[in-house]
Amino acid sequence: MADTMELRDIEVWDGNMAASQALRQVQVDVVAAYPITPSTPIVENYGNFTANGYVDGEFVMVESEHAAMSGCIGASAAGGRVATATSSQGFALMVETLYSASGMRLPIILNVVNRAIGAPLNVNGDHSDMYLGRDSGWIQFDAYCPQDAYDLNFIAFKVAEDHDVRLPAMVHQDGFMTSHTAQGVKTMTDEEGFAFVGEFQPMNDMLDLDHPVTHGVQTEEDWHFEHKARQQHALMTAALPKIQEAFDAFEKYTGRKYNLVETHMVDDAEMVVVCMGTSVETAMEVVDELRAKGMKVGVVGIRVFRPWPLEQLAEVLKNVKAIAALDRSSPHGTVGMLYNEIAGSLFNTDTKAVLTNYIYGLGGRDLTKVHLVGIFNDLKANMDAGKPTTALQQYIGLRGPKLSFF
Amino acid sequence: MSEIKKIKNLKEFSTSSDRFEGANLLCPGCAHSIIVREVLNATNDDLILAASTGCLEVCTAVYPYTSWDASWIHIGFENGSTAVAGAEAMYKALKNKGRLKQPDRKPKFVAFGGDGATYDIGFQWISGCFERGHDMMYVCLDNEVYANTGGQRSSSTPIGSSTTTAPAGRTSYGEKKNKKDMLAIMAAHGAPYVAQVSPSKWKDMVAKIQKGFAAEGPVFINAISPCTTEWKFAPEDTIAITDLATDSLVFPLYEIIDGTELNITYRPKNIIPVRDYLGAQGRFKHLFTKQYEYLIDEWQTRVDAKWEQLQRREEARV
């Protein structure tokens, strides 16, 4: 039996500690992990909890991120609660197994502390790893601050382990900006935290020795399509309402409210930026300042990146006249992912909004309030002109030539 | 410790409760199925199994069918070892937390992989599992080639063998590199038990598998698995070829306990020339020409030297 940790109502935690504490409180059965900056402290903290009697599950330090997820898959198929953490290059090394985890419908929780992917090698935060996972069949939650990183872990377990969902989930947070920045985090007691998620309910567990099960079969042209289609159907139809249900339950439980699409001053907004991670909070400050000057501006934050909340996003953006999609990852060969997703969400609607794309913050480059004011000024010009007045894709905070295109 | 299953004779052994069904898609004459049955039938305990991508995997779990009457998992080519290690970690966790559904039964954890999955692409994963000391057995079905994908060379492919990626031709005798000594590498991990086995020497094999199951910690078994398709011999000759391998000492049968104590477990009464082993297989056909015949002599020298070395190690107890 693991010892209980006495927590203050509000603890000063960085995003990594917030995630580690959540993993401890839900009493994960197996953590198989490999350290990588900036997610390393999640694993270190968890090791520390284990060494001091606060964890009674298995903590397996493996030899690579690929092995970490491989071990998680074996453990999850065996029938118990499983989680790990990674970033960047390690996430990239895991990619093969991410598809296995989702294809085998195993409810593993992966904390991804977002970081750039080399070359050139870079340890700082951007969303390149997060974008790399977007077709892997996982649910992807996005935390904007340590409080979110804590709360979304509980929500992730609740959704992923639901027998109507049975899909793995990632909880993303920005490398360093969230992971290494300490803030006040409202806590649950160990008992409360565990009770929200509840006992793990096994399904098709290998360790049920009276009911042997085969995991990870071969399917060719006769069945592969049906498997993938059902997986996608579960992600798009079962997962979204279950996520909303979990958000509602969490609000009732803690008073803290999460939405598939987060909004700030969007109801009557004419100009909106759509972004993820810590940028959402920066943009909220800028919006408050510009509102004071009479500009009808707002922020939309993507809280659930996969499954993409297409209808919910279209709904909040329906009256907006100019939209900026802020991508913290280089699209390499097209426009930004958020631009494409937003365009796809709005295409069959009546909107006449002007949509433009900004690439920012690669490799940990700051996005400042001044940058955001500039973006809103661009949006004002676009709205007034009824068409883009700038290049479709621009870089924010880039030194040297602008390198914009379209 | 669970009781060791008593096996009196081959008839009884071959009709033991079968957790690997004859209904599978492996080639007629494939040694994989013989080896797997011998491993599984060596115990009455519950089994949690894994397979890396390869012939065994693609031929035994094609949806909606399965040949496995024991829990089984496949993830990818490189990580069958870690899949079963993860399941073993979960077993320990649930045992500790009192959540096992059958708390009185202790399953054995076994991973199977071909030589590609073992010597090459999965090498790091196996090494990690052994270093961490998971209580598991890893069985390499060593057919010295990537057979599932049509006969490409692996680091287990022996010198002079013709494969699709190291073919024999007008200016080449095929594979240029000697087979990797996987057993020595696994013994060097300090594993409590490693052994080479042959499906044709079933008593020796059962004894070793049971020793492996009785050991605490990671156990490595290297099983020679003659491949009728890629070694190019008739499907009915599998056991005969296997006997040629062990009796020519090309594939000596021995074990290493705790990384140091080496025991030779089979000494052929009549050691046959390596030439006879090579000559029975199409993959070495080109060696029987004036141009490449010197390689057969080199083979014999190499096999003699290895046998000498094994005997010295056994005698010296180091």
Per CB-CB distance under 8 Å, the chain B contacts of A215 are 71-74
- pLDDT-derived band at B46 (thresholds 50, 70, 90) equals very high
Residue A5 sits at the chain B interface (C-beta within 8 Å): no
Inter-CA distances, A37 with A61, A96, A98, A126, B69, Å:
15, 21, 20, 13, 43
The mean pLDDT of chain A is 97
Q: Is residue A166 located within the same domain as residue A303?
A: no
- B44 touches B17 (CB < 8 A): yes
Looking at the structure of chain A, the number of domains it has is 2
Q: Is residue A46 domain-resident?
A: yes
Kindly state the DSSP code that residue B59 receives in the 8-state scheme.
Answer: H
Higher-confidence residue of B12 and A30: namely A30
Residue with tokens 């870089």: A395
Q: Is residue A152 located within the same domain as residue A25?
A: yes
**Where on the phi/psi map is residue A162: left (φ > 0), alpha (ψ -120 to 50), or beta?**
beta
Inter-CA distances, B230 with A269, B61, B95, B182, B244, Å:
69, 22, 44, 21, 17
- A298 touches A272 (CB < 8 A): yes
Q: Is the pLDDT of residue B107 over 70?
A: yes
In single-letter form, the type of residue at position B102 comes to Q
Boundary residue ending a domain (A254, A289, A314): A254
- A265 touches A273 (CB < 8 A): no
Burial A377-404 (b: 16+ CB within 10 A, else e): ebbbebbeeeebbbeebbbbeeeeeeee
pLDDT tens-digit series, residues A140-191: 999 999 999 999 999 999 999 999 999 999 999 999 999 999 999 999 999 9
Q: Which residue of A has its CA nearest to B128?
A: A63
Note whether A74 contacts B90, CB cutoff 8 Å: yes
Q: Is residue A303 located within the same domain as residue A250?
A: no
Note whether B76 contacts A96, CB cutoff 8 Å: yes
* Half-sphere exposure for B108 (CA within 13 Å, toward CB): 28
Q: Is residue A402 domain-resident?
A: no
Per-residue confidence (pLDDT) for residue B2, from 0 to 100: 64
Q: Is residue A170 located within the same domain as residue A308?
A: no
Measured at the CA of A150, the angle between CA A89 and CA A94, to 5 degrees, comes to: 20
By three-state DSSP, how is residue B177 classified? coil
pLDDT tens-digit series, residues A62-103: 999 999 999 999 999 999 999 999 999 999 999 999 999 999
- ipTM given for this complex: 0.97
Kindly state the DSSP code that residue B4 receives in the 8-state scheme.
Answer: P
Report the DSSP pairing between strands A297-302 and A304-306. unpaired
Note whether A209 contacts B72, CB cutoff 8 Å: no
Q: Give the DSSP letter string of B77-146.
A: SS-HHHHHHHHHHHHHHHHHHT--SSTT---EEEEEEEHIIIIITTHHHHHHHHHHT-S-EEEEEE-SSB
- pLDDT-derived band at B232 (thresholds 50, 70, 90) equals very high
pLDDT tens-digit series, residues B174-219: 999 999 999 999 999 999 999 999 999 999 999 999 999 999 999 9
pTM equals: 0.97
Q: Is residue A197 domain-resident?
A: yes
Distance between CA atoms of residues A395 and A328, nearest Å:
10
Per-domain residue ranges of chain B: 10-316
Q: Across the strands, what pairs with A169?
A: A109, A139
Boundary residue ending a domain (A254, A278, A301): A254
What contacts B102, CB < 8 A, 6 or more positions away? A208, A209, A210, B46
Gap from A60 CA to chain B (nearest CA, Å): 8
CB atoms under 10 Å from CB of B293, counted, come to: 12
Q: Is residue A194 located within the same domain as residue A298?
A: no
CATH code, A61: 3.40.50.970
Residue with tokens 């085969």: A214
Gap from A33 CA to chain B (nearest CA, Å): 11
Q: Is the pLDDT of residue B1 over 70?
A: no
Task: Measure CB to CB from residue A216 to each of B75, B99, B125 and give the nearest one.
Answer: B75
A386: Cα separation from own chain's centroid: 33
Q: Is residue A123 located within the same domain as residue A246?
A: yes
Residue A134, phi then psi, degrees to nearest 5: -75, -20
Query: Residue B188, preceding bond cis, omega within 30 degrees?
Result: no
pLDDT tens-digit series, residues B114-130: 999 999 999 999 999 99
Residue with tokens 């280089």: A330
Q: Is residue A226 located within the same domain as residue A267?
A: no
Q: Is residue A162 located within the same domain as residue A291?
A: no
Distance between CA atoms of residues B218 and B186, nearest Å:
10
CATH code, A274: 3.40.50.920
Q: Which residue of B has its CA nearest to A210?
A: B102
Torsion angle, alpha carbons of A181, A185, A189, A190, to 10: -30
Interface of A with B in 202-241 (CB under 8 A): 205-210, 212-220, 223, 227
Per-residue confidence (pLDDT) for residue A95, from 0 to 100: 98
Domain with A74 in it: 10-254
Q: Is residue A2 domain-resident?
A: no
The mean pLDDT of chain B is 96
Q: Is residue A4 domain-resident?
A: no
Task: Measure CB to CB from residue B132 to each of A57, A60, A205 and give the nearest one.
Answer: A60
Per CB-CB distance under 8 Å, the chain A contacts of B64 are 223
pLDDT tens-digit series, residues A293-328: 999 999 999 999 999 999 999 999 999 999 999 999
Q: Is residue A401 domain-resident?
A: no
CB atoms under 10 Å from CB of B69, counted, come to: 15
Query: Residue A120, preceding bond cis, omega within 30 degrees?
Result: yes
Gap from A13 CA to chain B (nearest CA, Å): 28
Note whether B124 contacts A67, CB cutoff 8 Å: yes
- B71 touches B86 (CB < 8 A): no
Report the DSSP pairing between strands A10-13 and A183-186. antiparallel
Report the DSSP pairing between strands B219-224 and B172-173. unpaired
Q: Is the pLDDT of residue B259 over 50?
A: yes
Interface probe for A, chosen from B68, B81, B94, B100 (most Cβ of A below 10 Å), is B94
Boundary residue ending a domain (A254, A285, A303): A254
Q: Is residue A185 located within the same domain as residue A266?
A: no
Gap from B52 CA to chain A (nearest CA, Å): 10
Q: What integer is the mean pLDDT of B147-174?
A: 97
Distance between CA atoms of residues B226 and B189, nearest Å:
27
In single-letter form, the type of residue at position B79 comes to N
Report the DSSP pairing between strands A109-114 and A169-174. parallel
Q: Is residue A350 located within the same domain as residue A240?
A: no
Note whether A73 contacts B125, CB cutoff 8 Å: no
Q: Across the strands, what pairs with A171?
A: A111, A141
**CATH number belonging to domain B10-316:** 3.40.50.970
Q: Is residue A169 domain-resident?
A: yes
Q: Is residue A294 located within the same domain as residue A183?
A: no
- A277 touches A177 (CB < 8 A): yes
Q: Is residue A237 located within the same domain as residue A342?
A: no
Q: Across the strands, what pairs with A271?
A: A297, A322
Distance between CA atoms of residues B311 and B210, nearest Å:
24
